Amino acid sequence: MTRAAPHWQRMATVTVSPIEPGDAAAWEALGWRWRALESLAGASFFTSWTWVGCLAAERFDAPLLVAGEAAGETVALALFNRRRRWFGRARLWLHEAGRRVLDTPFIEHNGVLARDPALIADCLRAALRHGHLVLSGVEEPTLLAARATGKAWRRAEPRPAPWVDLGRVRSSGGIAPLLSANARQQLRRARRALEAAGPLTLARAGDEAEALAFLHEMAGLHQASWRARGQPGAFREPFFARFHEALLARALPRGEAELLRITAGPRLLGLLYNFVHDGRVLAYQSGFAGTAAGPSIGQVCHWLAIEEHAAAGRDVYDFLAGEARYKTRFATDVMDMHWLDLER
């Protein structure tokens, strides 16, 4: 027997409307609508208003709001920024600015915020009337909805995102039994070498001032490490640090961000900057003081954080997109995220 669609899905009307970037009242009203829908639509951290609304008036200079309404309820939302081009149609960036500097805070687990996946294709079709779509870091429901629009793809790039099932970590008595024999041996050897300087300690920033201090300390370590490899590092753009300073002020009171500082006795090993949302820990950024023999200090820091969150009863430790060795070494599972350009 086929179950009938909910009334709000059958009756949904999708509209596209501009927002004046300098209209503070409009942004505040949108924030209330967005928060009300988050819990009903299963938002990720990156589609929550904590992230999307952070410095929104600065990041979105030509915002278009796609909204699904049914029976007086908001059932779908997506915020695009429109970038005009000299030739061809405009491009609409989903929850991004479409400018490199303003998009250095990399978005993943992106997508349309909708009470039912069937609404996502309707939202994409409505947006496509106003330009080509750039959909960065979207999950499978948005990928399937993009296919359902029947429009051409100019780019479709999947990237694996390894993650750790923290339930398995708990039932196994730690992460070590889930590793390969070689990885387990190397990590234990590295941990013993670090413990020669003193016991390993993981400290969590207790308030915004301490979190900002940890963030700046982590940025220094991160930049030194990347520059030593001839790379610019994530904090090369001042906007990146300013965005995350503003984000911490929004996320910390809601328990959605954490800064972890790991030491061995008096010796600093590194810092981790994670987002925490709906049982999922997102390993977003890090900075480490050096490397140990064999595995890096970073892997030992992640080891401590994984077991800390497993003990706290969380569900997933998510390494986000990329196939770095430390991610695949710890991962129990992997999912794909997708970077799409969708054209009419």
pLDDT (average), residues 145-149: 90
pLDDT of 260: 98
pLDDT of 151: 75
Nearest to 257 by CA among 287, 236, 283: 283
Do residues 232 and 222 lie in contact, with contact meaning Cβ atoms separated by under 8 Å? no
Of 30-34, 85-89, 158-162, 223-227, the least confident = 85-89
pLDDT of 266: 95
Q: Average pLDDT of the chain?
A: 92
**pLDDT tens digit sequence for 208-257:** 999 999 999 999 999 888 788 788 888 989 999 999 999 999 999 999 99
- Sorting pLDDT into bands at 50, 70 and 90, what band is 294? very low
Domain ranges of the chain: 7-150, 162-336
Q: Can you tell me the distance from the alpha carbon of 173 to that of 47, in angstroms, rounded to the nearest whole number? A: 33
- Listed in sequence order, the residues at least 6 apart from 280 whose beta carbon sits closer than 8 Å to its beta carbon are 44, 45, 314, 315, 316, 318
CA distances from 52 to 79, 126, 220, 223 (A): 8, 20, 26, 26
pLDDT at 339 over 90: yes
**pLDDT tens digit sequence for 2-39:** 454 555 455 689 999 999 999 999 999 999 999 999 98
- The reply to whether domains 7-150 and 162-336 share a CATH topology is yes
pLDDT of 105: 95
pLDDT of 6: 55
- Helix H or strand E encompassing 144: helix 140-148
Higher pLDDT, 4 or 332: 332
Q: Can you tell me the distance from the alpha carbon of 263 to that of 298, in angstroms, rounded to the nearest whole number? A: 12
pLDDT at 155 over 80: no
Q: Can you tell me the distance from the alpha carbon of 344 to that of 209, in angstroms, rounded to the nearest whole number? A: 48
* Class of CATH domain 162-336: alpha beta
pLDDT of 219: 94
pLDDT of 231: 81
pLDDT of 291: 53
CATH of domain 7-150: 3.40.630
- What are the structure tokens assigned to 336, written together? 């794909």
- What are the structure tokens assigned to 67, written together? 């909204």
